[in-house]
Structure 1
Amino acid sequence: MSDSEQPGPPEPDDSDPPGAEPSSRRGRRPEPIGDGVGAAHRTWLEPVRSRLVASGLTLDELVGRSGYSKTRLSELLRGKGYYPSWEITYSVVRALDLPPWPLRRLWTAAAREAAKKQGWIENRIQAVQPLGLEQPPVAHQAFTLAMRAPYAAYARAFLQAEDRAQRVVRETFDILWLTWDEACATADVKRHAWQMLRSRVMARTLQQDGHPDLRQAAFFTAAQAAIIDLAERSAHINKMAGFFDAVARLPQDQMDVIVLTHLCTIDAAAVPGIVGLSPAMTHTLDHHARGALNDLYRQHTWE
C-alpha cells in the first residue's frame, strides 16, 4: 500500500454524546471558528456559516436535513478537530442549497492545506455521487470571462508565478459564485469582486514594512532584458526595484491603478470597469499617484 493510500486516523463517532445540550434556538449564531483553522479552510467555512445564519435553520433542523449528528455538524461549523470529509461537507452544502462545484474546489484546496494526502481527497470525493453538469449563473459566467485576463495580470504582478496567479483568480471566482447573491446585493458587483481579488492576492504576497513587496517585478521589465552589459543591467534593476517599492507604498487604490495601467499595460480606459470606480475617480487616482512617484523618481520614464 502506497503512502497516499495509507488509512488516516479514525474519524470521530457520528453519535451525540450522552447528556448533549438541548436543540439550538432559532437564529443563534454558531460558536466562533477556532484559531487554528487555516486560511484556505476559512475561505469556504465562513460563507457556509453565513448561509446557515441567513437561512434561519437551527442546528437540529440542519441535523435532520444532513443526516449527521449535532456533534459532527458543530465541529464542522467551528473547524474543530479533524478536517471534515467531503461527505459531511456536501451534506451541509446540499441542506443549505449552496452550489457544490465551487465549494468542492475550495474544500480540496483546504484539504491540501491541512496536509491531507491526494489519495484521501480522491476517495472522499468518490464517496459522494457525481455533481453533474457545472452551471454557474449566466451573469457570473459573463463576469468571469470579462475579468479573468485583467485579474490574472494583476495577480501575476505581485506573485510572479503564473500558476499561483491563476490559482488566486480561480479561488476568487469560486468564492464569488458561492456568495453571488450577496455580491449582487452590494452597491457595485465590480467593486465588490475587485476588493475580494485584491484581498486574496495580498494574503499571498510577500510583505515589507507592512506593504506588498513588488521589487521582484524589477527583474521582469522589458528594459532590463534588453541591456547586455551586466553591470548596467544590475544598476537598472536596483533603480527599478526602488521604484516598484515606492509604487507598493502608495494608497491601495492608487497602487492598483498604477499596477494595472503601467505594469500590466492595460488600457487606461478599461481600468475603471475593472476596479469598479468611476472614470473620473480613476483618473484622479492615477494623477495623484504619478505626482507622488515623480517627486521620488523624477528621471523615471513612464513609457
Structure 2
Amino acid sequence: MIWSPDAGQPPAPDTGGRRGRKPAPIAASAGPSHRAWLEPVRSFLFASGLTLDDLVSRSGYSKTRISELLRGNGYYPAWEITFSVIHALGLPAQPMRRLWSAAAHEAQKQPGWIKQCIQQVAVQPEPAPVAHQAFTEAMSDVYTAYARVFLLTDQRAHWVVTEAFDILWLCWSHAAVSENLSRYAWRLLRARVMARAHRDGDGHPDLRAAVFSTAEVHDGVPGHFVALSELVDLFAAIGHLPDDQMDVTVLRHLYGVDLKEIADAVGLSEAITHAVDHHARAALERLLDAPSPRE
C-alpha cells in the first residue's frame, strides 16, 4: 500500500511472511518538516517488501541507526545516512535534500552543520520529470493563494507550496499513475498547509486573521490590512466547513478563482465542484445563524 498524502503514517504492508517486526510509529517529537519526508520514505520502504536487515545491507549503516532514522527518534540524522537510505530505495536525491535541509533547520541544526553534511555527499544534478514541471507550473498560483489564507504571509505560503511540490516529486512514480493526479497532489498540499495552520479552541483551522491579509477584493472581501469586523464571524465559520467545502469556499470567495480552475486544482469534476460550492453556501448560512456561546 502506497502512502496517501492525507493518511498520516502509512500502514506496514503484508510482507508475505518475511522476517522482521512491525515498524514502530514515528516519534511524537518529529516536527512537520521532518514528517514531510519521513512518512513517504517509510511508505516506500514498507511497500518495497524490504526488511530492515535488507536496508542495513544496502545502506551500509547499522540496524540501530537505520531504525532510529525511520522512527524519527534521537538526533536528527545526517544527510549522509539519509541519502544512503533513499538511494537504496531508488528515490530522487534533489527534492529529498531540500526536504532534509528544511527539517534540519526545524531541528535547530546550525547552517554550518547542514552545509557540511551536504558537501560530504556528491549528488548528480537531476531535473524533475517534465510532467512534474508542467504540473507545478500550472498549479503554483492556485496552491499559493490557498496556502496564503491559512499561513497569512507570501513567504510562508511559497515555502509550503515548494515543500508540497518536492514531496510530489519524491512520490512521482506513484502519483503519476494514480487514478487522479490532481486529487493526489491537492491532498498532499492540503496536508502540508494544515500541518502548520493556526487552530481555534475546537481544533478547526482559524481563519479570522485572514480578514486582515486577504490579497484582493472579491465579492466584498477586504484587501490588504482592511479590518471589517463583520467578516470575522464569516471567516471563523469557513474554518468549520467540511474539507472540500472549505477549500472551494477559500478559493472561490476569498480569492475569486473560477470554478473550472478550482475543479482542475482540487481534482473534482466541475459538476461536483458546483455542488460543493452550493452546499458550502448553505452550510455557512446555518453556521452564521446558529446562536453563539455568548448568546
TM-score band by shorter chain is 0.7 to 0.9
**Counterpart among 34, 37, 41 of residue 41 in structure 1:** 34
- SS of 1:115's equivalent in the other structure is coil
Does the CA-based 8 Å contact 2:20-2:52 persist in structure 1?
A: no
The structure-2 alpha-carbon separation of the partners of 1:240 and 1:63, relative to structure 1 and needing over 3 Å to count, comes to same
- SS of 2:28's equivalent in the other structure is coil
- SS of 1:211's equivalent in the other structure is coil
Q: How does 1:98-113 map to 2 (within 5 A)?
A: 98-113=91-106
Cα shift at 1:77: 1.6
- SS of 1:212's equivalent in the other structure is coil
Q: How does 1:1-303 map to 2 (within 5 A)?
A: 25-26=18-19, 29-129=22-122, 131-208=123-200, 209-220=202-213, 222=217, 224=222, 237-294=228-285
Aligned residue for 1:10?
none
Does the CA-based 8 Å contact 1:258-1:286 persist in structure 2?
A: yes
- Gapped regions of structure 2 (runs ≥ 5): 1-16, 290-295
Does the CA-based 8 Å contact 1:26-1:57 persist in structure 2?
A: no
Does the CA-based 8 Å contact 2:150-2:207 persist in structure 1?
A: yes
The structure-2 alpha-carbon separation of the partners of 1:279 and 1:120, relative to structure 1 and needing over 3 Å to count, comes to same
Letter in 2 for 1:114: A
The structure-2 alpha-carbon separation of the partners of 1:27 and 1:189, relative to structure 1 and needing over 3 Å to count, comes to farther
- SS of 1:61's equivalent in the other structure is helix
Does the CA-based 8 Å contact 1:27-1:53 persist in structure 2?
A: no
- Gapped regions of structure 1 (runs ≥ 5): 1-23, 228-232, 299-303
How many corresponding residue pairs? 267
Does the CA-based 8 Å contact 1:160-1:217 persist in structure 2?
A: yes
The structure-2 alpha-carbon separation of the partners of 1:225 and 1:65, relative to structure 1 and needing over 3 Å to count, comes to closer
Letter in 1 for 2:71: R
Highest Rg: 1 or 2? 1
Give, in whole Å, the separation in 1 of the partners of 2:107 and 2:78: 12
Give, in whole Å, the separation in 1 of the partners of 2:269 and 2:77: 43
Aligned residue for 2:293?
none
Residues 211-235 of structure 1: CA distance to partner in whole angstroms, max 9, x if unpaired? 21111222235465699xxxxx75x
RMSD: 2.3
The structure-2 alpha-carbon separation of the partners of 1:54 and 1:148, relative to structure 1 and needing over 3 Å to count, comes to same
- SS of 1:150's equivalent in the other structure is helix
Cα shift at 1:252: 1.5
Give, in whole Å, the separation in 1 of the partners of 2:56 and 2:256: 52
Does the CA-based 8 Å contact 2:213-2:224 persist in structure 1?
A: no
Letter in 2 for 1:118: P
Letter in 1 for 2:144: A
Aligned residue for 1:19?
none
Letter in 2 for 1:248: G
Give, in whole Å, the separation in 1 of the partners of 2:261 and 2:100: 34
The structure-2 alpha-carbon separation of the partners of 1:142 and 1:284, relative to structure 1 and needing over 3 Å to count, comes to same
Cα shift at 1:238: 0.8
Letter in 1 for 2:235: F
Give, in whole Å, the separation in 1 of the partners of 2:115 and 2:37: 19
Does the CA-based 8 Å contact 1:218-1:240 persist in structure 2?
A: yes
Give, in whole Å, the separation in 1 of the partners of 2:264 and 2:270: 8
Letter in 1 for 2:178: T
The structure-2 alpha-carbon separation of the partners of 1:105 and 1:291, relative to structure 1 and needing over 3 Å to count, comes to same
Cα shift at 1:26: 4.6
Residues 175-208 of structure 1: CA distance to partner in whole angstroms, max 9, x if unpaired? 1111122223432111111111111111111111
Cα shift at 1:163: 0.7
Letter in 2 for 1:256: D
Q: Percent identity?
A: 57
